[in-house]
């Protein structure tokens, strides 16, 4: 990378720092991803997911990528690639990414932390917090925190939900079994969420989404 001087625009400094912080190779046996290639893919992702990966409304809810767990991020790109997760746009995107690029992008977005995007219904936040922390025992729904962590920031293969765009969470939970776990021969952690998503009613889903959206 070229050295930056005092006249370098601030945006360029921020971008250079972000790229430098991302892993450009997963290990010694994996071909490195060039800064130019990574920059191009980050820009491409940003056209839908926002400049800082904060999510976006668009024609349909587009999820937040910022702060997402690296392992989960990589797993989901692989799920799109293998057809275990259904999305016609991401299917094509996933086929344009090498394993090294998946890792580099995952690490780049993991390092971002913009303010949450969206304006959830605040009157449902308390109800959503209760469900997240205690679950819904009468519906056999466990506390969301048991997998996603008390701060909803996830862990490894379990995704970060804190700050996720609430309209996306609503969409994801109401259509879960139509999108995730599409290859029964290759089950993944989506199998844990299918019965939970199915057991939650519309108001409970909106409440949980409202609570999670406002977390930082």
Q: Give which of 23, 14, 77 is closest to 45, Cα–Cα.
A: 77
88 by DSSP, 3-state: which? helix
Please, which pLDDT band fits residue 15 given cuts at 50, 70 and 90? very low
Task: Return all residues near 163 (Cβ < 8 A) that are at least 6 apart.
Answer: 54, 64, 66, 67, 115, 116, 117, 212, 213, 215, 216
- pLDDT value of position 143: 98
Q: What integer best gives the mean pLDDT of the chain?
A: 88
Residue 128's φ and ψ, nearest 5 degrees, are: -65, -40
CB 63 within 8 Å of CB 167: no
Domains, the chain, ordered by start: 10-110 (1.10.760.10), 122-213 (1.10.760.10)
DSSP for 151-214 reads TS--BTTBPP-TT--HHHHHHHHHTHHHHS---TTS--THHHHHHHHHHS-HHHHHHHHHHHHT
Cα pseudo-dihedral 56, 135, 148, 168, rounded to 10? -10
- pLDDT value of position 101: 97
**Which pTM does this prediction carry?**
0.84
CB 126 within 8 Å of CB 113: no
Q: What is the pLDDT of residues 27-72, one digit of tens each?
A: 445 568 999 999 999 999 999 999 999 999 989 999 999 999 999 9
Please, which pLDDT band fits residue 188 given cuts at 50, 70 and 90? confident
Q: What is the pLDDT of residues 64-104, one digit of tens each?
A: 999 999 999 999 999 999 999 999 999 999 999 999 999 99
Q: What is the pLDDT of residues 121-172, one digit of tens each?
A: 999 999 999 999 999 999 999 999 999 999 999 999 999 999 999 999 999 9
Label residue 199 exposed, middle or buried (CB < 10 Å: 0-12, 13-18, 19+).
middle
CB 177 within 8 Å of CB 197: yes
- pLDDT value of position 3: 36
């Amino acid at each position: 990378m070229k050295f930056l001087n005092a006249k370098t625009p601030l945006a360029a400094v921020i971008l250079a720092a972000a790229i430098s912080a991302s892993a450009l190779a997963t290990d010694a046996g994996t071909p490195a991803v060039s800064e130019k290639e990574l920059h191009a893919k980050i820009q491409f992702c940003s056209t839908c997911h926002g400049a800082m990966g904060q999510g976006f409304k668009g024609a349909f809810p587009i999820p937040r990528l910022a702060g997402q767990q690296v392992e989960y991020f990589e797993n989901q790109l692989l799920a799109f690639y293998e057809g275990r997760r259904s999305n016609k746009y991401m299917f094509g995107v996933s086929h344009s990414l090498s394993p090294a690029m998946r890792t580099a992008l995952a690490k780049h977005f993991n390092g971002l932390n913009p303010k949450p995007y969206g304006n959830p219904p605040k009157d449902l936040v308390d109800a959503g917090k209760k469900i997240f922390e205690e679950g819904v025992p009468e519906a056999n729904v466990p506390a969301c925190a048991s997998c996603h962590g008390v701060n909803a920031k996830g862990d490894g293969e379990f995704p970060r939900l804190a700050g996720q765009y609430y309209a996306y969470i609503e969409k994801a939970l109401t259509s879960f079994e139509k999108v995730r776990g599409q290859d029964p021969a290759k089950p993944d952690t989506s199998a844990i969420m299918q019965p939970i998503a199915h057991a939650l009613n519309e108001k409970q889903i909106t409440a949980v989404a409202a609570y999670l959206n406002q977390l930082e």
